[in-house]
Amino acid sequence: MNKIRLNVQDLTKGMYVCELDRPWVETSFLFQGFRITNEQELGQLADTCEFVFVDAEKSHVDVTAARHASSSSGAPRKRRRSLLSLLRRQTPPPMRSFEEELPVARELFIEVQESIKNLFADVRLGRSLNVGKVRATVQSITDSIIRHPDAMKLLCALENKDRDSVAHALSVCVLSLTFGRHLGMAEEQLLTLGLAALLHDIGELRLPEGLMHKRGGWSESDYDQAKHHTDYGVELLRNSEGIPGGVVEVARDHHERANRSGYPRQLGADEIGVFTKIVGIVDVYDSVTKGLEGKPAVSFTDALKSMYDWREQLFDGELVEQFIQCLGIYPVGSVVELNSGEVGIVISLTPTVRLAPKVMLVRNKDKKPYHPPRIVNLAKFIDGEDEEARYRYEVHSVIPAEQYDVDVRHYVLRELYQQQEQIA
């Protein structure tokens, strides 16, 4: 193969594009290698890439002049166009109801936790990563997210705040896949994103045991030591046959920040890949809401508010706004107080009416426990034809679970399975 690097502005119809400047799965191209046949493909390449590699032997035109132009033009690097503009951008509807998916997801959740635990234990002992098992695990999680994302997402939200690397990896994987589904990613893209999310911190397994969950905060030397996990992750994944390059990139760069304040390479916004940006956002959200790295946990709402404030300095602003839309104003697992005075747990979202989630009511207006809890879909009161019934139920505020001694894990894992949906 006579492979030649060309700037996208120097491409013409008839050239055979054999390699991009980023992983194929981060683009909307259907084939890994194609001959340019029309202006639409030229525009798509210009919107997606800064440069590509052309196979001169498979091209139907001479690329010699184009190669000279690319090497001597000195044209300024242009800003990458976001992947968001290339996706279909329409979130697909769930394939089954939340109630149908939850018991399936609960069994799966237990299975994948055990699988990830064993995979990580092998790596910690110096054994090679079982890529086949990792792919199978991510495929099963992806299948559940495609069927209905809220079931796995709710189960992750219930995890104890004092968690280990397995729980964090699984949570980042589930939330990243949920986010990717929200963005309209194809299944092949979701699978690569899921792999990258699950393995983003794999290098931490080579750090001294206990460092990542040290109580009482970190010293400066702790931070310096922890930063090496990106180097360890790259080394481990590059030595694992069958791991896509995009997954290695995420392991290396998920702590990079848009304003070049991250590590290890102090990349800027335009130099960070889309999958890396997604996992970076989710990683921070899960870490701050679960109190990792020796820091106190903050509420879902406070975390999203802070990330919105940081959206241009640290992250991709458009992606942060989409992430907030994906999770909703009231993320699953949140404890809310309604305008009626009742208290409930958000268990599922209605994509078209994000201010009206499905809620399991656990306290009445006098804050006495419901026996059994009641499930109410707030969206039905907004969409109903009865004017008097509209807005009878709506969320007034998000509150700490401790305020009324609400054990979210108990209610979801024990009570929810026994309930039939009731609409008052």
Q: How many residues does the chain have?
A: 424
Q: Do 375 and 382 meet the contact criterion of CB atoms below 8 Å apart? A: no
- Percent of the chain past pLDDT 70, that is, above it, reads 85
Q: Domain boundaries in the chain?
A: 3-78, 98-327, 335-418
- Percent of the chain past pLDDT 90, that is, above it, reads 48
Q: Is the dihedral of CA 26, 32, 33, 37 positive or negative?
A: negative
Better-scored residue on pLDDT, 413 or 327 = 327
pTM (predicted TM-score): 0.78
Write out pLDDT tens, residues 218-269: 778 888 888 999 999 999 999 999 898 889 999 999 999 999 999 999 999 9
How far is it, in rounded angstroms, from Cα 358 to Cα 346? 6
Does the structure show a pLDDT above 90 at 200? yes
Q: How confident is the model at residue 420 (pLDDT cuts 50, 70, 90)?
A: very low
Q: How confident is the model at residue 391 (pLDDT cuts 50, 70, 90)?
A: low
How far is it, in rounded angstroms, from Cα 83 to Cα 45? 12
Facing residues of 397 across strands? 337
Q: Which two tokens stand for residue 218?
A: 């970190």
The alpha-helical segments, DSSP class H, found in 338-393 are 379-383
What average pLDDT score do residues 88-110 get? 87
Does the structure show a pLDDT above 70 at 319? yes
Q: Under CATH, which number does the domain 98-327 receive?
A: 1.10.3210.10
pLDDT at position 387 is 52
pLDDT, averaged across the chain: 85
Write out pLDDT tens, residues 323-374: 998 998 889 999 999 999 999 999 998 777 777 899 999 999 999 999 889 9
